[in-house]
Structure 1
């Protein structure tokens, strides 16, 4: 019987790519997202190519919403065997304007200019909730399905920010560090019931969320984008397809002795000192 994979944040570029790849391997896919029209279209694409997928609206910050989604998934394709926690993101209110603080910044009255001292508590809370609580709650709901079964696992989406924080985005970096730590904690906690828990840590991929930060309208790189490519030995941004092989490995039973790890997929960014 085909295993059921539940993917949160499935409407995004990265997770929709993983969903399509897993479907081609015979997994039944439940696409969870707030945007029904987006996941319905992705499910239709998967089904038209011979796969099996459904789209279900769910809010990863509301346990009741996740429980309702779980009921629908049970009715339509079965109980969850593999959970991919892909929901996440950043928020401008948790981001500083400059990478370094200068004393003159305190006098900067430019509209929207933010130092560390101006960071909005609600913006930071939003980022932590979306990334960490948005990983914890789906795991609470769907990992119960895995108890008593074999070959089940949880795959979290961390980030290279979790290893070394990037400038300007303290909330996102801290939240992803929490995801990595939670991955290790949960791997130990679930070890006696055979549920493996791992994470992948993507480096720099162009997505709808960060495209405007890394490129300009004509496709050329921003200064931040140039810095990133300069620090990436492979000399490019990641493509969504670059995540597929590692994800398939961690979801497959060939990795049955692998749990509690966070795998960087970053083009060598974390290995390069800059010198």
Structure 2
């Protein structure tokens, strides 16, 4: 007997009708994943701190036929995270998929950087992820829901620390990797998959200066980055979408606790 997965492989990527929550939805990764999920028929709850940008992304999602609600809020507290989960449940009756795309960085050499700046990076990239994961897992487990997908955004900097001024960012992404692995082992018995995507330098608001042809420092930094990338180019948000759809869909049902590098070959050498 030929299984449905072999007869119709594209069915493995079916997320139509699933309730999906995306944090950091106004960012480069969050926007790309939101539009892709909308195009595939998921019911979206989009979360971000910038209301104007959030509404713009929601409009793009509706343009491709998506069903969308927005929450202008950041996961700064557990109360915030619980409110986001409850909003998704109230609107769609469930919360099955979650892409945690929110994050922050402020570079600084450790002998110059204030503790407050370092802690802000850790709070955004680790504490916020922990709040969202706790809220999501608590709701599904207490409501006896099996299955579900959580995808976090890590970085090649969670594995490679060879960049100056990134003691906050690299440390936070290393913590994200370990949080991903621990949750995967903790939630496996509930059928919840937890994975992370680890990109290299991608085009975004945070890296726009590196793509500016008139910015000498940006161009120099870009060339240093390119020297480590076998594919010879930096990433575009669309480059992340295929991996995100894999990890958020049934195609990845036997994949959990993994850090998936979408890095143009950065970690290969």
Q: Hey, what's the Cα distance between the residues in 2 that align with 1:250 and 1:228?
A: 27
Q: In the TM superposition, what is the alpha-carbon distance from 1:127 to its structure 2 partner?
A: 0.4
Cα-to-partner distance string for 1:200-240 (whole Å, 9 max, x where unaligned): 1011102111222x244537752221110111111111010
Q: Hey, what's the Cα distance between the residues in 2 that align with 1:269 and 1:119?
A: 27
Task: Tell me which residue corresponds to 2:125.
Answer: 131
Task: Tell me which residue corresponds to 1:222.
Answer: 219
**In the alignment, does 2:234 pair up with 1:237?**
yes
Please say if residues 8 and 85 of structure 1, whose CA atoms lie closer than 8 Å, have aligned partners that are also in contact: yes
Gaps of 5+ in 2: 1-15
Q: How does 1:1-275 map to 2 (within 5 A)?
A: 2-92=17-107, 95-96=108-109, 116-147=110-141, 148-168=144-164, 169-212=166-209, 214-216=210-212, 218=214, 221-272=218-269
Q: Hey, what's the Cα distance between the residues in 2 that align with 1:72 and 1:197?
A: 22
Q: Hey, what's the Cα distance between the residues in 1 that align with 2:211 and 2:64?
A: 33
Please say if residues 198 and 261 of structure 2, whose CA atoms lie closer than 8 Å, have aligned partners that are also in contact: yes
Q: In the TM superposition, what is the alpha-carbon distance from 1:36 to its structure 2 partner?
A: 1.8
Task: Using structure 1 for the length normalisation, give the TM-score.
Answer: 0.86
Q: Hey, what's the Cα distance between the residues in 1 that align with 2:139 and 2:83?
A: 14
Q: In the TM superposition, what is the alpha-carbon distance from 1:150 to its structure 2 partner?
A: 4.2
Please identify, of 153-162 and 202-211, the stretch whose mean Cα deviation from structure 2 is larger. 202-211
Q: Hey, what's the Cα distance between the residues in 2 that align with 1:2 and 1:150?
A: 17
What count of residue pairs does the alignment treat as equivalent?
Answer: 250
Cα-to-partner distance string for 1:139-176 (whole Å, 9 max, x where unaligned): 11122333333441111110000111141211100100
Question: SS of 2:79's equivalent?
Answer: helix
Q: In the TM superposition, what is the alpha-carbon distance from 1:67 to its structure 2 partner?
A: 2.3
Question: SS of 2:46's equivalent?
Answer: strand
Please say if residues 2 and 27 of structure 1, whose CA atoms lie closer than 8 Å, have aligned partners that are also in contact: yes
Task: Give RMSD over aligned pairs.
Answer: 1.7
Task: Using structure 2 for the length normalisation, give the TM-score.
Answer: 0.88
Please say if residues 89 and 209 of structure 1, whose CA atoms lie closer than 8 Å, have aligned partners that are also in contact: no
Q: In the TM superposition, what is the alpha-carbon distance from 1:49 to its structure 2 partner?
A: 2.1
Cα-to-partner distance string for 1:183-202 (whole Å, 9 max, x where unaligned): 00110010111111111101
Please identify, of 127-136 and 32-41, the stretch whose mean Cα deviation from structure 2 is larger. 32-41
Please identify, of 13-22 and 66-75, the stretch whose mean Cα deviation from structure 2 is larger. 66-75
Question: SS of 2:224's equivalent?
Answer: helix
